[in-house]
Amino acid sequence: MAHAVSTPAEAHGAGHGGGHHDEHHDQESMKMFGFWLFLITDVILFGTLFATYVVLRLNTDGGPTGAELLEMNGIIISTFILLTSSFTSGIAVLEMNKGNKRGLIFWLAITALLGASFIFLEVNEFMHLVHEGATIGTSAYWSAFFVLVGTHGLHVSVGLVWMIALMLQLGRRGITPVTKRKVGIISLYWHFLDVVWIFVFTIVYLMGVM
Protein backbone atom coordinates (compact mmCIF):
# COMPACT_ATOMS: atom_id res chain seq x y z
CA MET A 1 0.00 0.00 0.00
CA ALA A 2 1.36 3.42 -0.95
CA HIS A 3 1.71 6.05 1.74
CA ALA A 4 1.33 9.76 1.04
CA VAL A 5 4.44 11.66 1.96
CA SER A 6 4.36 15.39 2.56
CA THR A 7 7.05 17.34 0.84
CA PRO A 8 9.00 19.99 2.80
CA ALA A 9 7.20 22.70 0.79
CA GLU A 10 3.77 21.28 1.65
CA ALA A 11 4.70 20.98 5.31
CA HIS A 12 5.95 24.55 5.29
CA GLY A 13 2.72 25.75 3.60
CA ALA A 14 0.54 23.98 6.15
CA GLY A 15 2.56 25.39 9.02
CA HIS A 16 2.45 28.85 7.52
CA GLY A 17 -1.32 28.68 7.06
CA GLY A 18 -1.84 27.54 10.63
CA GLY A 19 0.46 30.25 11.90
CA HIS A 20 -1.42 32.89 9.92
CA HIS A 21 -4.74 31.70 11.36
CA ASP A 22 -3.36 31.79 14.90
CA GLU A 23 -1.92 35.24 14.33
CA HIS A 24 -5.28 36.51 13.04
CA HIS A 25 -7.07 35.00 16.04
CA ASP A 26 -4.57 36.65 18.41
CA GLN A 27 -5.12 40.03 16.72
CA GLU A 28 -8.89 39.73 17.08
CA SER A 29 -8.50 38.77 20.75
CA MET A 30 -6.22 41.75 21.38
CA LYS A 31 -8.72 44.10 19.72
CA MET A 32 -11.52 42.79 21.96
CA PHE A 33 -9.25 43.18 24.98
CA GLY A 34 -8.51 46.76 23.91
CA PHE A 35 -12.23 47.49 23.67
CA TRP A 36 -12.81 46.19 27.23
CA LEU A 37 -10.00 48.42 28.47
CA PHE A 38 -11.65 51.35 26.72
CA LEU A 39 -14.98 50.49 28.35
CA ILE A 40 -13.34 50.32 31.79
CA THR A 41 -11.82 53.79 31.31
CA ASP A 42 -15.26 55.05 30.26
CA VAL A 43 -16.79 53.62 33.44
CA ILE A 44 -14.16 55.52 35.45
CA LEU A 45 -14.83 58.69 33.43
CA PHE A 46 -18.59 58.62 33.97
CA GLY A 47 -18.17 57.59 37.60
CA THR A 48 -16.07 60.71 38.15
CA LEU A 49 -18.60 62.94 36.35
CA PHE A 50 -21.49 61.49 38.36
CA ALA A 51 -19.60 62.03 41.62
CA THR A 52 -18.83 65.63 40.61
CA TYR A 53 -22.46 66.27 39.73
CA VAL A 54 -23.73 64.88 43.05
CA VAL A 55 -21.32 67.13 44.96
CA LEU A 56 -22.24 70.26 42.97
CA ARG A 57 -25.96 69.73 42.32
CA LEU A 58 -27.04 72.18 45.05
CA ASN A 59 -24.58 74.92 44.05
CA THR A 60 -26.81 77.05 41.83
CA ASP A 61 -25.30 80.42 42.88
CA GLY A 62 -28.78 81.88 43.22
CA GLY A 63 -29.53 81.11 39.56
CA PRO A 64 -32.15 78.84 38.01
CA THR A 65 -32.40 75.30 39.33
CA GLY A 66 -33.05 72.07 37.49
CA ALA A 67 -36.52 71.86 39.01
CA GLU A 68 -37.34 75.21 37.41
CA LEU A 69 -36.06 74.54 33.89
CA LEU A 70 -35.92 70.80 33.19
CA GLU A 71 -38.86 69.54 31.13
CA MET A 72 -39.48 65.91 31.98
CA ASN A 73 -41.88 65.16 29.12
CA GLY A 74 -39.15 65.57 26.54
CA ILE A 75 -36.66 63.65 28.68
CA ILE A 76 -39.05 60.72 29.04
CA ILE A 77 -39.47 60.63 25.26
CA SER A 78 -35.67 60.72 24.80
CA THR A 79 -35.27 57.90 27.31
CA PHE A 80 -37.86 55.76 25.52
CA ILE A 81 -36.12 56.37 22.18
CA LEU A 82 -32.68 55.42 23.48
CA LEU A 83 -33.91 52.30 25.28
CA THR A 84 -35.74 51.24 22.12
CA SER A 85 -32.51 51.66 20.16
CA SER A 86 -30.85 49.22 22.55
CA PHE A 87 -33.56 46.69 21.70
CA THR A 88 -33.11 47.21 17.94
CA SER A 89 -29.33 46.82 18.23
CA GLY A 90 -29.98 43.46 19.90
CA ILE A 91 -32.19 42.43 16.97
CA ALA A 92 -29.36 43.42 14.61
CA VAL A 93 -27.03 41.00 16.41
CA LEU A 94 -29.64 38.23 16.12
CA GLU A 95 -29.91 38.88 12.37
CA MET A 96 -26.11 38.73 12.10
CA ASN A 97 -26.04 35.37 13.87
CA LYS A 98 -28.58 34.11 11.31
CA GLY A 99 -26.29 35.26 8.51
CA ASN A 100 -28.88 37.78 7.28
CA LYS A 101 -26.84 40.73 6.02
CA ARG A 102 -29.82 42.78 4.85
CA GLY A 103 -31.61 42.30 8.16
CA LEU A 104 -28.45 43.22 10.05
CA ILE A 105 -27.94 46.45 8.10
CA PHE A 106 -31.66 47.31 8.36
CA TRP A 107 -31.76 47.03 12.15
CA LEU A 108 -28.46 48.88 12.52
CA ALA A 109 -29.97 51.67 10.40
CA ILE A 110 -33.06 51.76 12.67
CA THR A 111 -30.77 51.91 15.70
CA ALA A 112 -28.79 54.77 14.17
CA LEU A 113 -32.00 56.64 13.31
CA LEU A 114 -33.23 56.33 16.90
CA GLY A 115 -29.83 57.46 18.19
CA ALA A 116 -29.90 60.49 15.89
CA SER A 117 -33.39 61.34 17.16
CA PHE A 118 -32.08 61.17 20.72
CA ILE A 119 -29.24 63.58 19.88
CA PHE A 120 -31.66 65.93 18.11
CA LEU A 121 -33.87 66.11 21.21
CA GLU A 122 -30.85 66.63 23.46
CA VAL A 123 -29.56 69.51 21.35
CA ASN A 124 -33.03 71.08 21.48
CA GLU A 125 -33.02 70.69 25.26
CA PHE A 126 -29.63 72.41 25.55
CA MET A 127 -30.83 75.27 23.31
CA HIS A 128 -33.93 75.67 25.47
CA LEU A 129 -31.84 75.80 28.66
CA VAL A 130 -29.46 78.38 27.19
CA HIS A 131 -32.44 80.46 26.06
CA GLU A 132 -33.78 80.35 29.62
CA GLY A 133 -30.46 81.61 30.99
CA ALA A 134 -28.80 78.33 32.04
CA THR A 135 -25.37 77.91 30.42
CA ILE A 136 -22.27 75.97 31.38
CA GLY A 137 -20.97 79.11 33.10
CA THR A 138 -24.14 80.04 35.02
CA SER A 139 -23.27 78.05 38.15
CA ALA A 140 -21.40 74.98 39.37
CA TYR A 141 -24.63 72.98 39.10
CA TRP A 142 -25.14 73.80 35.44
CA SER A 143 -21.46 73.23 34.68
CA ALA A 144 -21.70 69.73 36.13
CA PHE A 145 -25.00 69.16 34.31
CA PHE A 146 -23.78 70.18 30.86
CA VAL A 147 -20.49 68.30 31.17
CA LEU A 148 -22.12 65.04 32.30
CA VAL A 149 -25.08 65.05 29.91
CA GLY A 150 -22.97 66.47 27.09
CA THR A 151 -20.28 63.79 27.53
CA HIS A 152 -22.92 61.10 27.21
CA GLY A 153 -24.33 62.82 24.12
CA LEU A 154 -20.85 63.00 22.61
CA HIS A 155 -20.44 59.26 23.16
CA VAL A 156 -23.76 58.61 21.42
CA SER A 157 -22.64 60.80 18.49
CA VAL A 158 -19.37 58.86 18.19
CA GLY A 159 -21.38 55.63 18.25
CA LEU A 160 -23.55 56.92 15.41
CA VAL A 161 -20.55 57.70 13.20
CA TRP A 162 -19.06 54.32 14.07
CA MET A 163 -22.35 52.54 13.25
CA ILE A 164 -22.75 54.26 9.90
CA ALA A 165 -19.17 53.39 8.93
CA LEU A 166 -19.82 49.78 9.95
CA MET A 167 -22.98 49.62 7.81
CA LEU A 168 -20.97 50.78 4.80
CA GLN A 169 -18.34 48.13 5.51
CA LEU A 170 -21.01 45.44 5.85
CA GLY A 171 -22.48 46.51 2.51
CA ARG A 172 -19.10 46.04 0.82
CA ARG A 173 -17.70 42.99 2.63
CA GLY A 174 -20.73 41.25 4.09
CA ILE A 175 -20.69 39.27 7.32
CA THR A 176 -17.11 38.14 8.02
CA PRO A 177 -15.29 37.29 11.27
CA VAL A 178 -13.96 40.86 11.33
CA THR A 179 -17.32 42.56 10.75
CA LYS A 180 -18.99 40.19 13.24
CA ARG A 181 -16.51 41.31 15.90
CA LYS A 182 -17.18 44.95 15.04
CA VAL A 183 -20.96 44.49 15.23
CA GLY A 184 -20.56 42.77 18.60
CA ILE A 185 -18.42 45.63 19.88
CA ILE A 186 -20.78 48.41 18.72
CA SER A 187 -23.71 46.54 20.26
CA LEU A 188 -21.92 46.27 23.62
CA TYR A 189 -20.94 49.93 23.39
CA TRP A 190 -24.54 50.94 22.66
CA HIS A 191 -25.90 48.88 25.58
CA PHE A 192 -23.30 50.51 27.82
CA LEU A 193 -24.49 53.99 26.79
CA ASP A 194 -28.07 52.96 27.57
CA VAL A 195 -27.05 51.84 31.06
CA VAL A 196 -25.23 55.15 31.61
CA TRP A 197 -28.32 57.03 30.45
CA ILE A 198 -30.50 55.21 32.99
CA PHE A 199 -28.21 56.60 35.70
CA VAL A 200 -28.30 60.06 34.07
CA PHE A 201 -32.10 59.94 33.92
CA THR A 202 -32.37 58.87 37.56
CA ILE A 203 -29.66 60.98 39.18
CA VAL A 204 -29.71 64.12 37.03
CA TYR A 205 -33.31 64.45 35.91
CA LEU A 206 -35.49 62.66 38.47
CA MET A 207 -33.44 63.94 41.39
CA GLY A 208 -33.11 67.32 39.67
CA VAL A 209 -36.84 68.00 39.62
CA MET A 210 -37.50 66.80 43.17
| CATH code for the domain in which residue 208 is found | 1.20.120.80
Sign of dihedral through CA atoms 94, 95, 98, 101?
A: negative
Residues 145-192 have pLDDT tens digits of: 999 999 999 999 999 999 999 999 999 999 999 999 999 999 999 999
| Domain assignment of residue 51, yes or no | no
Per the domain annotation, does 9 fall within a domain? no
Query: 81-107: per-residue pLDDT in tens?
Result: 999 999 999 999 999 999 999 999 999
d(CA 208, CA 148): 13
Residue 122 inside a domain? The answer is yes
Residue 51 has pLDDT above 50, yes or no: yes
Mean pLDDT, residues 54-64:
90
Residue 116: burial class (beta carbons within 10 Å; 0-12, 13-18, 19+): middle
Banded pLDDT at 14 (limits 50, 70, 90): very low
Residue 83 inside a domain? The answer is yes
Any domain includes 24: no
Residue 57 lies in a domain: no
Tell me if 92 is assigned to some domain: yes
Q: Which amino acid is at 186?
A: I
Q: Which amino acid is at 147?
A: V
Say how many domains are in the chain: 1
In a domain, 199, yes or no: yes
Q: The pTM is what?
A: 0.85
Residue range of the domain that includes 102: 71-210
Burial of 9 (0-12, 13-18, 19+ CB in 10 A): exposed
